Amino acid sequence: MIFPLQFVRSNVSFLRFQPAGGTMSDGAERREARRFTMTLPLRVLPFEAKGSELQTQTRDVSYRGLYFLADANFELNSEIDFVLTLPQQVTQPGGVDIRCRGRIVRVDSNLNGQRGVAAKIERYEFLPVAASAA
């Protein structure tokens, strides 16, 4: 059973939060988890030894996915391997890398010629920073 929320004070008001690009035309939220604006170092690894490693940074992150800008082409629904680095300020005493396998769920064109890439995280593992540098 669902009970409506009731307020004792009548002067209570709320601002509606609308994340940029996070809703569909019918107003429904597409994201599965709350995203946080975070600029973290990101290394996009070549998948199956194709291409070269791409160094960039995140624009926002959640436990289910991330969004980043890149000067490279990405195909919708393709697999992606990447390493996120959590800084020492968050993970004291040292930094931690998170190696992830994901899937590209959106590719946007950007005003400065870069592409915005949204990826869903399908699995991950934590690595000490020294171990992932190899």
How many C-beta atoms surround the C-beta of residue 38 within 10 A? 16
What the chain holds in terms of domains, given with CATH numbers, is 36-132 (2.40.10.220)
At 62, the amino acid letter reads S
What is the value of pTM for the model shown? 0.68
Does position 90 have pLDDT exceeding 60, yes or no? yes
Q: What is the dihedral of CA 45, 32, 69, 102, to 10 degrees?
A: 10
Residues ≥6 apart with Cβ < 8 Å to 112: none
Residue 48 has a pLDDT of 64
Residue 67: CB partners within 8 Å, gap ≥ 6?
Answer: 35, 58, 59, 60, 61, 116, 117, 118, 119
H helix runs in the chain, sequence order: 88-91, 129-132
The answer to whether residues 40 and 100 touch, using CB atoms and an 8 Å cutoff, is no
The first and second tokens of residue 64, run together, are: 């289910």
Please give the average per-residue pLDDT across 73-77, as a whole number: 93
Q: Tens of pLDDT along 5-54?
A: 433 433 333 333 334 444 444 444 455 567 789 899 999 998 766 678 99
